Amino acid sequence: MNEILKKTAAEQSAALKNKEISATELTGAAFERIAQIDEKLGTFNSLTQDAAMETARKVDEKIARGEDLPLLAGVPLALKDNMNMTGSRTTASSKILENFVSPFNATVTEKLNANLVPIVGKANLDEFAMGSSNENSAFRKVYNPWDLNRVPGGSSGGSAVAVASCQSTLSLGSDTGGSIRLPASFCGIVGMKPTYGRVSRYGLIALASSLDQIGPFARTVEDAANLLTVISGHDEKDSTSLNLPFENYAAALNNDIKGMKVGVIKELMTEGLAPDVEKAMQRAIEDYKKLGAQIVEISLPNIKHSIGVYYILMTAESSSNLARFDGVKYGYRTPNATNLMEMYTKTRAQGFGPEVKRRIMLGTYALSSGYYDAYYKKAQQMRALVVQDFAEAFKKADVLIGVTCPNTAFEMGSKTADPLAMYLTDIATIGANLAGIPGISVPMGFDADGMPIGLQILAPQLQESRLMNAAHKFERANDYYTKRPQNV
């Protein structure tokens, strides 16, 4: 592997500015790496080589003219394949969109283009972002680069694997219930979900509109902070976008955290934690003490209900959002229908995979006449209690910490026959989406099998700078973030 690909985005940016390497060489090296290992990892659904190399050439021209480069210019990035990019196939890893070519850019894509960030390809995911293991893609599974017999986490598995295996330096994922933080934990990298509304969702194929948020994957907190700076900001095309100023998030990374109140979430330290994960968590608490933070125990009494609440709200919203995929306007249409109703039913039966069908049926049931109050309305009331729990917790603590997942990456196929066991993988991450708060997963060690373990840090709404600072200080107190998988 070209050694430059192992470097962080900050190091690659410095190398470009110092003319140690050109942007076309760096982007070309990423494509060589993809050609070598993508077949066994299943990372990408499609590559966007022409567009990426054209962007890299523009960076080299700016360097040649002696002009300043925008933030992260020339650094290769992978885009989750549920974000639109003009002229690229945008499939959401579903047969129903297999041949859909996007006629427009998502807002995040526009922002990346404006900063001359080469987009190398569209990363594989669980179909329509529904899954925790990236085994639900209609095209091929994604494999964990630390152990090819294990899952990378989902739904943004391809985006996480691209960064962990050095096929791209950065990537974007979407997080509805942990779909950035969980793969980051399983793949030993940094993954961050911003405050709801911080990043425009325009051009993201919606799963659950009140929960979805786009966020960065990177190898360091600094790189994630810079990528968040690039993609943040108000967007009139997204009615949920916050019309608030955003900061240069990397500027706050070196603030002192002495005296910072770090709350340990009691409910995430109970039974169900794998022994090695529990040990890593205890070490992380000690690390924060050494950094001068004040440790306080925090209770989130309603977090135990979050899975039930989430799987009603998310399925209800997704059943509504996915109604548009009916074979009429775009995407797959069954070739053998004799009337309109048959065309609808056969298109959806043939185009959607089993997990998507399961969630559509659950959501449609929860919204149906006679059941709406019992399920959807009740779930919204419970969601308000989860939000209240977090509000109370942040009166006592500046940030909260807990495990990103109670276990490390599991074997391929080990949970596919038991959807409930798969859903429980998200127990630690869902609360942040229900409350709309920012969360980040950073590496906090390895289990006995050498698999990465993630530490989740949560902060109040709009406190991304505080969150990044607490994460960066922990990251630099250890060397876990420097480790790379040796299997690929």
Catalytic residues: 80, 155, 179
Q: 40: closest CA among 124, 128, 133?
A: 124
Alpha-carbon torsion angle 48, 53, 56, 58, nearest 10: -110
Q: Which residues of 89-107 are buried (b: 16+ CB within 10 A; e: fewer)?
A: bbbbbbbbbbebebeebbb
